[in-house]
Structure 1
Amino acid sequence: PASRADAAAELPPAPAHAPLPDAEPEDDVLLLDDSMLVAGPSLAPSAPPIASRQSEAMHADPVRSTPERAMSSAESRAPGPGLLGSASADTAASAIKNLVRTMAAERSAPVHRGGPTIEDVVREELRPLLKAWLDTNLPPLVERLVRAEIERVVGRAVG
Structure 2
Amino acid sequence: MAEARPEPSMEDILASIKRIISDEQTPSPQSVAPSRVEHAPIAPPPAPRSPGEPMTGWPRPGESQPPESILELTERVPGRVPDRTAEVPPPPPPRAIPEPAAPVQRAVERLRQAEAEMPQPAAPRPVPRDLMPRTPTPRPAGGDITLDALVRDALQPILSDWIERNLPDMVERLVQAEIRRMTEKDG
Greater helix share, structure number: 1
Q: TM-score, normalised by structure 1?
A: 0.28
Q: TM-score, normalised by structure 2?
A: 0.24
Bigger CA radius of gyration = 2
